[in-house]
Structure 1
Amino acid sequence: MSETKQLDVTIMGREFRVACPVDEEDALLEAVGFVDRKMREIRDSGNVMGIDKVAIMAALNIAHEFMNTRVTGGLDVADFRRRIGRMQQTVEDALKEQQQLF
């Protein structure tokens, strides 16, 4: 197991303390910067009021971007997730059939 540490981060001027594996600190800080930028973009657009709504809109935008991201080499993440889901269902169906044999 990797060692964890507590980090103080700031998003939209608010301080948060988060636990993070030591070897993932840089990735976490990059994510914090990304979330902070997204939230500021939404707030600065003037269409959303309140920090809670800004956070929800940022989360939705980030999730949408993630689900529609194509990784280098043409990998469609959303399609990949659908394929994994179908494979998982196939495995579960096969296991049910096997359990009926016993």
Structure 2
Amino acid sequence: MAEKSTTVEVNILDKEYLVACPEDARSELEKAARHLDRKMREIRSSGKVYGTERIAVMAALNITHELLQSSGLSGSAETVLGEMDRKLDRALESDGR
């Protein structure tokens, strides 16, 4: 039997998005959206990154990094992610924004 799907409205950086998800996953989706919104607001308020797309990419990288660290990330993988983070920071700074 197929799970019933519902459409959930979430707000991220003051924009509304409609997302389809199983009814029993609604609260997890809303929690994830609140977490993403918080991370994106932190990045925007730092003043180092401009543009919603760039802020979203930085938030995604940060959240992924946190997830991998909490999952027992190996030292070499952590080094690679750290270097990716530094390169992205430098690229965004040199972009003049």
Give the TM-score normalised by the residue count of structure 2: 0.71
For 1:12-91, list aligned pairs within 5 A: 12-70=13-71, 76=72, 78=73
How many Å apart are 1:8 and its aligned residue? Answer: 1.2
- Matched residues, number: 74
2:45 maps to a residue whose letter is D
Larger Rg: 1
| Runs of 4+ off more than 6 Å | none
User: For the residues of structure 1 that align with 2:56 and 2:3, how far apart are their CA atoms?
Assistant: 30
How many Å apart are 1:2 and its aligned residue? Answer: 1.4
Which runs of 5 or more structure 2 residues have no equivalent in the other structure?
Answer: 75-97
Which runs of 5 or more structure 1 residues have no equivalent in the other structure?
Answer: 71-75, 80-102
2:11 maps to a residue whose letter is T
- Residues 58-88 of structure 1: CA distance to partner in whole angstroms, max 9, x if unpaired? 0000000011104xxxxx2x35xxxxxxxxx
2:42 maps to a residue whose letter is E
Identity value in percent = 42
The structure with higher relative contact order (CA 8 Å, sep 6+) is 2
User: For the residues of structure 1 that align with 2:17 and 2:27, how far apart are their CA atoms?
Assistant: 16
Q: Which residue of 2 aligns with 1:5?
A: 6
User: For the residues of structure 2 that align with 1:25 and 1:18, how far apart are their CA atoms?
Assistant: 10
How many Å apart are 1:6 and its aligned residue? Answer: 0.6
How many Å apart are 1:13 and its aligned residue? Answer: 0.5
Matched residue SS, 1:47? coil
